[in-house]
Structure 1
Amino acid sequence: MANENYISMSIGSNIERVPKNIVFCSMIGGRSHVKPVLEIGRLLMKRSHNFTIVAPNARKTVKNEYPQISLYDLDPVMKEHSSESRKLYQEEFNINHLQILARQLEAHYSHVFNNLKRVALEKKADLLICDVVAQPCVDVAWTLKIPVVIFGGALGLASYKSDPMFGCHVTLEGKSFFERFRCVIIQHSQTAFYWYKSSVKYFNQERISVGIEPVSYPTERTRNSLFLANTFFGFEIAETLPPLYQEIGPIMYDSYPPLTTSLESFINSHERIIYIAFGDRFYTTPENNGKILKSVLELLTTKNLDGAIWALTQTPMTDFPSTINLQSGISINTTTILTNSNPHIKILDWAPQFAVLNHTNVKIFLTHGGIESIFEALYTATPMLIMPLYVDQYGNAEKLTMQGCALTVSKLALDEKDLFENITRLLTDHSIAQNLKRMQIFARINRLRKYRAADLIELVMYTAKHVEGAGNIPIVSEWQTADARIGVWRAENWDVWVFASISCLLLVVTAGLIGIKILKFANRWIIIRWFSRTTNRNTKEKSQ
């Protein structure tokens, strides 16, 4: 018999929401850093909260996609075609390039801090969402004593994780002892020491210049804050995560710009298209552009492909050779291609990427491996040829290659033959297609976790409080693990294990010493007994 006392509830409407003011700050800018948080902001605004973004070129990046969100522009930290950016994008990434990036961030500290603080006070901010590298944002939250949420990609907390941009691998599982020693002891220590020294020393100088207390280590003010990672297991290497670290990716959008009439007509008239794009800020060398274009033309000649779309968002048309010489001996003037006079190649300043990838006639995606591009390719199950250009893209490429969803080429040793062979393999390898179908399920199911991200931000706003010993930023103490309060030494019971180990060692040593004494005593007793019996026997023999 049914229980007539059951209570009916409407999911999601069973808490009383008090409107809050939320400000998001990105120091780097760009769509992959900004738009995912704006998508969460859109959900929060539906829940009656106010949302503001402070970022470099915010209006240019967002355009008219989120008209209800207040936008404040910052000066760009990285100018796309400066000599420093060309070094970062076109050369091998190393510790010196990390220094370039750090100096760029440090140089903009006071500009970001002062503008963000002004906006936060003007908007009466109740919570700040800070991009993972936005140190000034965290310091503003610390100054105003309001909660902060950190947003970024995967951190790689497990000891068996590493980073390919410094010559290691995304996982050290199955690697030799010497490779693990090099990555864990030498490479990690060098990178950690440099970043620790750089971020503490130089950022502290900037903090003092704006009247903020310095820190002792980089994460001092965020160690108790919620971190939202725009990623998901399946794409990421699995690991055990603490409560304050939450995966909420892949953040996808409810609607995307459609194909233009001319672009739709081009795609519909070709059945095997390669789409080439390096995001909204990256580009490669003129030499690589020539090699890519030549490979595309060779593939069109052999009928492996019958169309190509290239979005030259940050690539100047002057970064192409004047002519392309094919193996057949034919010489092609690139001007005819770049001006869209070739009926099989479409050159664009910008492309509605998701709509392009979602079309069944687009078979290959040549990408730099940016996180937003990867998520869109996984969602549409589009095979990828990845040419990493910068920082996290190296790790993204290796993870997808390990999953059998992509192939990788090097920007430093790009070879036309390799391009031709890899693209041909992506067109014909059924195992890659199957692996992408499996990853597509991960991407499509996990995309709804942006609602979870909005829930978590609300939870922080409504429940965060000042906790003694946690610092100046209010936190959700229920998420704070024991090591944050009592230290890792006691939380991991290392003191108990050390005491037990020492006790066992002392017990073994004591037992050993006692055993030696017993053996010595027994040995003396045996010798004395033997000597006594021998003496008595000799005495008896003489008396007889």
Structure 2
Amino acid sequence: MKLGIIYNLIGLYTGVLGSKLKGSEKPLNIAMSMGIGSRSHIKFLLEITQQLSDRGHKITFLSLDGFESFVKGYNITFQSVGSISMGVGSVFQLTPFKRGDPFNKGIVDVDKLVYNVYSNTFKNFEKYYEESKPDLIICDWCNPSCFDSAAKHSVPMMIGYQTLTPIAESFHTISLGLEPSTIEDYSFIKRLDHTFIEPWRQWYEHYPLKMKLKRAKQENGVPAHIGLEWTNYGLGIAHSYVGYENSRNTPSHVIPVGPVFSDKIDPLTPDKVIYVGFGSLTQLQPELSEGMLKHFHKLLEHNWIDGVIWGGMANTNLKKFPKKYTVDGMEFPTKSILDGTHQQIKLLKWAPQRSILNHPSTKLFLTHGGLDSIYESINSATPMIILPFLGDQPRNAVLIKENGIGDYLEWDDDSEIQTYSKFFNLLNPDNIQLQQNLEHHQLMNQLSSQRKTFGANLIETYAKSAKSCRSENPQTAFDIPCELKPYIPLDRRTSFLKSHLVDVYLFALMVAILSVGFILMGVYKLLMRFNSLSYEKKKVE
């Protein structure tokens, strides 16, 4: 039914969707925005909206100073909405994630950062709405100043999700750690904790952030709900797909369009290699780099691999790169690795990741577990071994292992034998089960990746439907917009009590209890009457 609504709505514009603007047709003015995070938060939207730009629509990327480079290579305009000097977009020297670590371990004070971003950008969003009058804005779900300001000014809005985690169901775990992704194998005690204790733990953990946001809302004329009351403001567009993510009943106002890839893959040149990439925000500490070199040396020594391509080294201070490493008591200098003359280990400031992953010689991908990297690896059927650091990376690592297409390292806890066992298992050409799993997930990924044009059509249609319905239905601030109403499920626009018929069930239960009570009372009176008659009869006899 949900897809039927979408396709019917898109059908209204079959004459114009997917083609350039004609004659007097006015181009749409579409904006998108992200506050904090890496490029992965916005890359899928850049790819999708580039198609809209090619059709003649105006696309603007609103973000913080320092994120201008994100639009490089796209026909998209950058406009700053603020400048925050707290490490936004910076490279962080992180340590691998350990069980029990907070999701934001090793980076700035996230609560303070989110509050500062909200406070420093809200007025600039308002100024943009007043001056540019956008037909639609797409807000990253981690950017509350964007969707709150849009709701305040009744600007048509969509919300961009990187994963389906924000719309998890009760059987999904809500931890960003290395816990199982569902409660399927949980004991009764763990399910009890998941149901009653974990939600309170999460609420308590995020309470300071919610209170800071509440204060920021009050300062900017937004209703000061403690919670994030934003899901009723705009249509969700998710860079995800069921197959990688656990299956769930996705709300009708959240449309998965992922995975989204660039149309271009540069050709490469052959040997079985490991590709190593840890994303744009991670700077490896020297001890970690040394440990990696030891593992690679043994894999090379035992002919499990012929070479290592270590990309993304632009963030690494090579002056602090290990000058040597030791394996089985023997020292090996790294000079040839650093000057590029080593025959088997190549360090690259930048690597064409998707091209490398699609090369038949790439047999394993060692990654931090960023979502874009995972999607690209699945698309090329390359097994992964994940060394997570923060954020959603630990949970992504768990999903990869549960799906049988890779494994993850617990750097401080895995023994050397455990680490090599994981590498050998994924590099073993006789691991038929792994190959079958990779092929299965590759097919699902490739099918789902055909939705980029659908995503562009969806955005274009939603913007046009907003203009159409609002011409006769003036919108008020913080109300469910008319263009969203066909999508939004009842339980998101009415009270829990009404949408789940709680009052009806309580009434039915009360009627049932009263009915049983009356029946029992009647039976009791009949029994008493019968006993009374029996007693009188015996008395007469």
User: Structure 1's 14 and 510: CA in aligned 2 closer, same or farther, altered over 3 A?
Assistant: same
Whether the 8 Å contact between 1:127 and 1:147 is mirrored in structure 2 is: yes
Match of 2:8 in 1: none
User: Structure 1's 384 and 232: CA in aligned 2 closer, same or farther, altered over 3 A?
Assistant: same
**1:321-355, Cα deviation, whole Å (9 max, x unpaired):** 4321112x321113332332321000011111000
1:355-370 superposed matches below 5 A: 355-370=355-370
Whether the 8 Å contact between 1:130 and 1:151 is mirrored in structure 2 is: yes
CA shift for structure 1 position 288: 2.8
Query: Take 1:89 and 1:333, find their aligned partners in 2: how far apart are those partners?
Result: 25
1:379-528 superposed matches below 5 A: 379-428=379-428, 429-464=431-466, 465=470, 471=479, 475-528=483-536
**Amino acid paired to 1:174:** D
1:44-83 superposed matches below 5 A: 44-56=52-64, 57-63=66-72, 65-66=73-74, 68-73=75-80, 75=83, 79=87
Tell whether 2:182 aligns with 1:171.
yes
CA shift for structure 1 position 115: 3.7
**1:222-271, Cα deviation, whole Å (9 max, x unpaired):** 32421111000111111112211111111111114554xxxx3xxx2xx1
Query: Take 1:320 and 1:156, find their aligned partners in 2: how far apart are those partners?
Result: 42
**Amino acid paired to 2:70:** T
Whether the 8 Å contact between 2:63 and 2:79 is mirrored in structure 1 is: yes
1:133 alignment partner, one of 139, 142, 145: 142
The percentage of aligned residue pairs carrying the same residue is 27
Tell whether 2:287 aligns with 1:287.
yes
2:208 alignment partner, one of 157, 180, 198: 198
User: Structure 1's 432 and 75: CA in aligned 2 closer, same or farther, altered over 3 A?
Assistant: farther
Query: Take 1:87 and 1:215, find their aligned partners in 2: how far apart are those partners?
Result: 35
Query: Take 1:80 and 1:288, find their aligned partners in 2: how far apart are those partners?
Result: 24
- Secondary structure, aligned partner of 2:167: coil
- Secondary structure, aligned partner of 1:486: coil
Query: Take 1:219 and 1:457, find their aligned partners in 2: how far apart are those partners?
Result: 23
- Secondary structure, aligned partner of 2:486: helix
User: Structure 1's 485 and 61: CA in aligned 2 closer, same or farther, altered over 3 A?
Assistant: closer
Between structure 1 and structure 2, the one with the greater Rg is 1
**1:265-312, Cα deviation, whole Å (9 max, x unpaired):** xxx2xx120011111112444333222210001110111111001122
Query: Which segment drifts farther, 483-492 or 149-158?
Result: 483-492
Whether the 8 Å contact between 2:178 and 2:397 is mirrored in structure 1 is: no
Query: Take 2:174 and 2:502, find their aligned partners in 1: how far apart are those partners?
Result: 29
**Amino acid paired to 2:396:** N
CA shift for structure 1 position 76: 5.8
- Secondary structure, aligned partner of 2:15: coil
1:176-325 superposed matches below 5 A: 176-195=187-206, 197-209=207-219, 211-259=220-268, 264=269, 268=270, 271-311=271-311, 312-318=313-319, 320-325=321-326
User: Structure 1's 524 and 318: CA in aligned 2 closer, same or farther, altered over 3 A?
Assistant: farther
> How many residue pairs align between the two structures?
510
CA shift for structure 1 position 370: 0.6
Query: Take 2:494 and 2:71, find their aligned partners in 1: how far apart are those partners?
Result: 44
Query: Take 1:33 and 1:78, find their aligned partners in 2: how far apart are those partners?
Result: 18
- Secondary structure, aligned partner of 1:324: strand
TM-score between both structures, scaled by the size of structure 2: 0.86
Whether the 8 Å contact between 1:388 and 1:411 is mirrored in structure 2 is: no
User: Structure 1's 313 and 372: CA in aligned 2 closer, same or farther, altered over 3 A?
Assistant: farther
Match of 2:333 in 1: 333
CA shift for structure 1 position 384: 0.4
Query: Take 1:187 and 1:432, find their aligned partners in 2: how far apart are those partners?
Result: 34
**1:435-491, Cα deviation, whole Å (9 max, x unpaired):** 011111111111121222222222321223456796276642211222344322112
State the superposition RMSD in angstroms.
2.9
Whether the 8 Å contact between 1:19 and 1:50 is mirrored in structure 2 is: yes
**Amino acid paired to 1:409:** L
CA shift for structure 1 position 380: 0.3
Query: Take 2:477 and 2:500, find their aligned partners in 1: how far apart are those partners?
Result: 19
Query: Take 2:49 and 2:398, find their aligned partners in 1: how far apart are those partners?
Result: 31
CA shift for structure 1 position 518: 2.2
**Amino acid paired to 2:437:** N
User: Structure 1's 383 and 96: CA in aligned 2 closer, same or farther, altered over 3 A?
Assistant: closer
Structure 1 stretches lacking a partner, 5+ long: 1-8, 534-544
CA shift for structure 1 position 122: 4.0
**1:124-178, Cα deviation, whole Å (9 max, x unpaired):** 3121111111011112312432111110121233111113425643111232121
CA shift for structure 1 position 108: 2.1
Whether the 8 Å contact between 1:258 and 1:352 is mirrored in structure 2 is: no
User: Structure 1's 302 and 87: CA in aligned 2 closer, same or farther, altered over 3 A?
Assistant: closer
Match of 1:157 in 2: 168
Match of 1:3 in 2: none
1:24-39 superposed matches below 5 A: 24-39=32-47
User: Structure 1's 295 and 221: CA in aligned 2 closer, same or farther, altered over 3 A?
Assistant: closer
Whether the 8 Å contact between 2:28 and 2:135 is mirrored in structure 1 is: yes
Query: Which segment drifts farther, 352-361 or 485-494?
Result: 485-494
Query: Take 2:204 and 2:104, find their aligned partners in 1: how far apart are those partners?
Result: 13
**Amino acid paired to 2:465:** T
Query: Take 2:447 and 2:288, find their aligned partners in 1: how far apart are those partners?
Result: 37
User: Structure 1's 414 and 285: CA in aligned 2 closer, same or farther, altered over 3 A?
Assistant: farther
Choose between structure 1 and 2 for higher RCO, CA contacts under 8 A separated by at least 6 residues. Answer: 2
Whether the 8 Å contact between 2:94 and 2:285 is mirrored in structure 1 is: no
Whether the 8 Å contact between 1:148 and 1:473 is mirrored in structure 2 is: no
Whether the 8 Å contact between 1:93 and 1:165 is mirrored in structure 2 is: no
Match of 2:3 in 1: none
User: Structure 1's 120 and 505: CA in aligned 2 closer, same or farther, altered over 3 A?
Assistant: same
Structure 2 stretches lacking a partner, 5+ long: 1-10
CA shift for structure 1 position 102: 2.2
Tell whether 2:30 aligns with 1:22.
yes
